[in-house]
Structure 1
Amino acid sequence: MIKKVLMVSAIVFSIIVLVLISAVASATSFTLNSWEVRDDDGYPSIYLNFDVTDDVELRLLDPEGLKIDYVYIDKYQHGIYLHMADFHEIPNPGTYQLLVLRYSYPEDEVIYSKTFSFGGANFSIKNIDLDWEYVDDHYETNYIFVDCQNSGDLPAYISKLTIRIGDFKKWIDELDEYLEPLWMPGDGVGYSWGYSFTKNSDPEKMLTVPDAGDYYVEVTIRDADGHIVSTLERTITVGGVEEPHNESNHNVTNDNDVTDTSVNEESKTPGFEITLALVAILTVGIISMKRKNAN
């Protein structure tokens, strides 16, 4: 009899404990105060600001429903980053889902969920500005500016800029440059923002062409994996810049002119002297004839 009482008491106690645990667990609450798309040292992320009353797991699912990041937090934490993609990787557009789970047996229980929908990053090259200068026997860039923007709602991470210029038959020159990678949503939208190179500060990052004329320019920007993020193609005109005055050539031309003039004057001198001699001879002859007639 006593054993039965003890067994019943144990069962009742276990039930009470489970009920209490369940009551405490069910009291766990999570409140999302705000969220924002940010960069976390190279990782595209959603930053969450929240209040929570107990230990929970925050889990982020990508647009395909796969777990892309998760973290365990306690009631003393109020902010956390959840990564949307790998390091310097542009996150995919679509709907991401946040799940907040508390420990429960036999499986964790979702106590909060929220979805975030994104159109994706939209990085583009708006324009390229090239300022040319005539140097010696060719043209070279004095200034290059590549104007870009990210008009999307997710970060864009880029890695390499390539500028090629050609004469419609072959490429003449090429510039490769590794870039500062991060473009947050809205960067460059409504204002000029991008990458510039000047001859004074970057003498090795210039383009050259042999002559004035029309040229074909291609600008390509790639991500860290080598995938093309944006391309700009344009026809430009090089020229219209007055070539520098060459003093040595100018002096040579003047010397030739003077030499030619002196040669012409010397060619006239012998004829003039012969004419004077003939006049003198005729004059002497006339005088002699007059004297004979007088005698």
Structure 2
Amino acid sequence: MTIVVALYAAGWTLFVWLGDSWLQMLVAVAMAVVFTQLGFVAHDLGHRQVFRTRRPSDIAGLLIGNLGVGLGWGWWTAKHNRHHANPNHEDHDPDVSPAVIVWSEDQVARSTGIPRFFAKYQAFWFFPLLTLEAWHLHVASVKSLFQPSAKRRGLELTLLLVHFALYLGLVFTILPVGKALLFLVIHQGLFGIYLGCSFAPNHKGMPVLTKEDKLDFLRKQVLTSRNVRGGWLTDVALGQLNYQIEHHLFPNMPAPNLRKAQPMVEKYCAEIGVSYLQTGLIESYGQALRHLHEVGADLR
């Protein structure tokens, strides 16, 4: 956390120091990485992995999420907890709702409008659409605070507005309009791609559950999740979410301990005959994209 926050401060300091320069586009790339890493920290805070009590988790989550990267921490945490309760369940998991991408043949058959338009060749659209993911998260964060169920509406909205005011104010003050707009496109586009590429290997292309599937907790979590092999670089790049099976079984286990739990979980799954999938990073994307392409086959 200290390293990522220090990099965040260093990145904006460098931005101010460089001034009106095309080198700022490289800063945009670097800051996309830093924003995503801050997102991983907010994720861990949401799972109560960092502090033992709720209050410091909430305070840190609001500062990092809302103020730091413009992500509504309360909204995203509630949505993510629904995902954990029913991963890849087409009726209960908000991450597989057919908003743009459709995840099952059943959803394709019921799709209309934009999802149906993209579904035909959605495997080819997947990565280009990720460039809009960060923008979507910003908009959804603000919209959620106008729902009747919103909590801490005033505080969260204020922190989000302060983030947007400081972020846009700094970019358009330091850079002329053309360079500023390009900086925003690069930074937010790569931020969205990095986020999407970090979460996509975890469940995309894995079985999509329906109300007919009656699974116990262990099978519901393991059979819908995929681990990604790799060393320390993969762990850092994916925020240690590459141990997705262990994370879903023990969501409040601090991320650095997931790699220690992995061999024990794999061994236990083998003993009780539960399929445990672990693959390389590139292959994980291949499995996800093949699944998306197969889902849209009827439309082709």
* Common topology (TM > 0.5): no
Give the TM-score normalised by the residue count of structure 2: 0.16
Structure possessing the higher radius of gyration over alpha carbons: 1
More strand by share: 1
Bigger relative contact order (CA 8 A; separation at least 6)? 2
More helix by share: 2
Give the TM-score normalised by the residue count of structure 1: 0.16
